[in-house]
Amino acid sequence: MKRTRNVKIVATLGPASSSYEMIRNLHEAGADVFRLNMSHGSHDEIRERHAIIRQIEEDTGGSICILADLQGPKLRVGVFAGDSEMLEDGAKFRMDLDKAPGDSSRVNLPHPEIFAALEPGSTLLVNDGKIRMTVDDCGPDFADCTVTAGGQISNRKGVNVPDVVLPLAALSDKDRKDLEFVCELGVDWLALSFVQRADDVLEAADLANGRAAILSKIEKPAAVKNFDEILAVSDGIMVARGDLGVELPVQNVPPIQKRLVRKCRSAAKPVIVATQMLESMIESPMPTRAEVSDVATAIYEGADAVMLSAESAAGDYPIEAVTTMDNVATEVEQDPTYAQIMTASRDAPGTTIADAIVSAAREIAEKTDIKAICCFSQSGTTALLVARERPMVPILAMTPLKSTARRLTLTWGTNCVITEMMDRFKSAVVASARAARAQEYAGPTDQIVVTAGVPFNVPGSTNILRVAPCDERLIYSTDPE
């Protein structure tokens, strides 16, 4: 489905968006990528939604990307004898391994790995940070704390430990089973939760074994600290601002978001900005002005995609939420300031031949009357490099692999076209001209830029560029040379 914007929209599926009709309506309203949240829903439900997406893809004739989001290890307190307790500021409170129901003085925390990592002075956050505690004393099976921000604590509320690196694997036993299930099902991206270090990503990549690309969720202070190493081994990044805003002071999140988006763009790796983007639209058909500004800010920063969570999964107005995001993106990208920001934030070209080729393609396209940049890419590398340039003309990612087209659908500005396997550059030029004409990016008197790597089908070999006409002589050419 041809879009008139470059930034992509990720919509999470759930109870409010599980039928063929609703998912197709979301796609037609603007959703490019569908997120399957493995924290909710059985394997049978996930399988059914996956099948519906693939059926819609076949019915509409495009490429739809599917992102499976693994739950990650969930740290939670146990239960209370009265289901909940009110903790006052300054109160003493113990967390321990005792499985007995809790009271106003203590509760079970069934995670010995947390106690192993704690030190006096460490912070514990409960219920999304609404309750804060400082550790006074701790051992292998307990932590004695002082409540610094009180509130109601109840059964199985989540616990965050912001200032220590926990000796936890990013993949729980459930995650490993879910990973194998969705990889066999045929998803395009795997979002990895609770990432703290590069080794977490490498473990998931090893298990996926090329069946899906790995997207690391940055939601822990340790992940921010180790971001360069995590980015180097990840295929993409999600800035998961919800947990970041719990574990870090909220005022730290906007500059972190800006830095991470810039680093991802420089590395030519897609980045999603996520969490609470249109939160009020869970219950309201209209967003707040602040939410619209938040979405717009992520787009002005150059993010590849913006994401809806509960708004599309469980909200009352899923289609309206996607439509709002689509409208905001379209308006922002038509603003002359947007092009100026993309240009000003562009890094100097790298030193490889591929860097020089895609930089030249963008410059030629913007300084002359070029209608599109067509890049041939089997692995997706060339298309990612072109997208990094944020050109102000459409990008046609030409690939013989459906899997590559689906993964690239997450990437800024890419319009994916499935083509035959190529072995000559002339054939690639002809195919590009035909695709540009067929999808109405160019007319018979227009020109396009074509980039590719010769010899073909060698990942990362981008080394050739041609400005080509889209006239009938080329379109109907049968000359293989």
Q: pLDDT for 309-365, tens place per residue? A: 999 999 999 999 999 999 999 999 999 999 999 999 998 878 899 999 999 999 999
> In this prediction, what percent of the chain has a pLDDT beyond 90?
83
Q: Of residues 243 and 349, which shows the higher confidence score?
A: 243
Query: Catalytic residue at 451?
Result: no
Q: pLDDT for 135-154, tens place per residue? A: 999 999 999 999 999 999 99
Q: Is the pLDDT of residue 226 over 80?
A: yes
Query: Catalytic residue at 211?
Result: no
* 85-99 average pLDDT score: 97
Cα 419 from chain centre: 26
- Which domains, and CATH codes, for the chain? 8-73+169-332 (3.20.20.60), 84-160 (2.40.33.10), 353-475 (3.40.1380.20)
Q: How confident is the model at residue 478 (pLDDT cuts 50, 70, 90)?
A: low
pLDDT at 320: 98
Query: What's the chain's average pLDDT?
Result: 94
Nearest to 191 by CA among 73, 70, 34, 36: 70
User: Exactly one of 8, 35, 132, 390 is catalytic; which is it?
Assistant: 35
* 212-221 average pLDDT score: 96
* 415-434 average pLDDT score: 90
Task: Describe the strand order of the beta sheet including 123-126 as a list of residue ranges.
Answer: 106-108, 92-96, 142-149, 131-139, 123-126, 159-160
User: Exactly one of 123, 275, 404, 419 is catalytic; which is it?
Assistant: 275
Query: Catalytic residue at 275?
Result: yes
Q: pLDDT for 265-297, tens place per residue? A: 999 999 999 999 999 999 999 999 999 999 999
In 10 A of CB 352, how many CB atoms?
Answer: 13
User: Exactly one of 76, 211, 258, 424 is catalytic; which is it?
Assistant: 76
Q: pLDDT for 362-378, tens place per residue? A: 999 999 999 999 999 88
User: Exactly one of 217, 241, 390, 437 is catalytic; which is it?
Assistant: 217
Query: Catalytic residue at 362?
Result: no
